[in-house]
Structure 1
Amino acid sequence: MQTERANGGGQAERRDLKVIVGAAIIRDGRVLACARSAPPEVAGMWEFPGGKVEPGEGETEALIRECAEELAVRVEIGDRVGRNVRMAHGRSVLKVYAARLLHDDEPQALEHQALRWLAADELDEVTWLPADAPIVAALRPHLLRTR
């Protein structure tokens, strides 16, 4: 994704935004939340699993890879959840997609302190990373419909 901004001379300067993808893995009307283990300033805060889209990789492809690496699960990626969320001082954007587990896979906390399945009325029981908070708000009505 590219953006433009004016430099000191008033000319537009192009820069690439890093795309971060997240998975709102939904099962039985609940979404999987993952507690960060690092870095220290966000350890214990909750997020949707995912990570950076690598060069030459599509968003869906990156999300499938990240879920396998972080949770040892295979997922099917669905529709976008919420809007793009700008992060990291405007240098990256978070895009979250609904997902479902395949083949009765069970998530494992390979890179997180803890995992938790949350229903719509439990979403506020954890402290979400600031970038994930707008996604949580957008996800709530979806979880209520899928109960």
Structure 2
Amino acid sequence: MPTSWTSFETNSTDEWWDVVDAEGSPTGRTYRRGAANWPSGFFHLIVAVCIQREDGAVLLTQRAATKESPFGWEFPGGSALSGETSRQAAIRELGEETGVEISPSALTLIDRFAEAAALLDFYTAHAPANTELRLQQSEVMAAEWVSLEEVGRRLCAGLMADPWSARLDALWPLARQALRIVR
């Protein structure tokens, strides 16, 4: 039975994450989002998807006003829930936030980026033909299909959500290369 870290805080959600080691392997322990005392030296898994249309544009979403880093632009994604694989979380998050549905085989892992308490798996995928967006208003206030150059412009202009600066410094060159190859 997994060991759970709990807290007496009443403002946390009922979202549970697997606690993973530096390689992303589950430790058998879980953690409730928002609880105190994140275990030092461990991580939770987060995912993001850079989805590209046939014309080369990629989808950016703008964080809702009620979220951390409000109004910042980012790629659709979020935390893997307890028991989910990285690919399952990426498909779920993309679908929840944008309404875009893809298969696990449509995802190409670009790389993993380590943060203080999270490991980000960054994927690319092709948008299905005639993709229509249905935004999850509690998470996403807007979405735009933009050029690869526009992603870089928004990064330089400080318009990306706070965590995306370091993430894109490390991952964007690899993502751009992968997006050019598959087009």
Residue 133 (structure 1) aligned with residue 152 (structure 2): no
Output aligned runs, 1:50-129, within 5 Å.
50-76=77-103, 77-81=106-110, 83-87=111-115, 90-102=116-128, 104-110=130-136, 111-126=139-154, 127-129=159-161
Which has the larger strand fraction? 1
Shift of 1:105: 3.1
Q: Are 2:170 and 1:142 aligned?
A: no
Q: Distance in 2 between matches of 1:14 and 1:124?
A: 33
Pair 1:137–1:38, CA change in 2 (3 A): farther
Q: TM (normalized to structure 1)?
A: 0.76
Q: CA deviation at 1:53?
A: 1.0
> How many residues are treated as equivalent by the alignment?
136
One-letter code of the match for 2:145?
Answer: W
What is the SS of the residue equivalent to 2:83? Answer: coil
Q: Structure 1 residue 22 and structure 2 residue 48: aligned?
A: yes
Q: Taking every aligned residue pair, what percent have the same amino acid on both sides?
A: 28
2:81/2:89 contact within 8 Å kept: yes
Q: Distance in 2 between matches of 1:106 and 1:66?
A: 16
- Alpha carbon RMSD of aligned pairs, Å? 2.6
The question of whether the paired residues in 2 share the 8 Å contact of 1:34 and 1:115 is answered with yes
Distance in 1, matches of 2:68 and 2:99, equals 26
Could you say which residue in structure 1 is the equivalent of 2:32?
none
What is the TM-score normalised by the length of structure 2? 0.63
Structure 1 portions without partners, runs of 5+? 5-12
Q: Which has the higher contact order (CA 8 A, sep 6+)?
A: 1
Contact 1:22 1:48 survives alignment (8 Å): yes
Question: Stretches of 4+ moved more than 6 A in 1?
Answer: none
Structure 2: how far apart are the matches of 1:24 and 1:37? Answer: 19
Secondary structure of the residue aligned to 1:122 is helix
Separation (CA, whole Å) in 2 of partners of 1:78 and 1:40? 26
Cα distance in 2 for residues equivalent to 1:40 and 1:25? 22
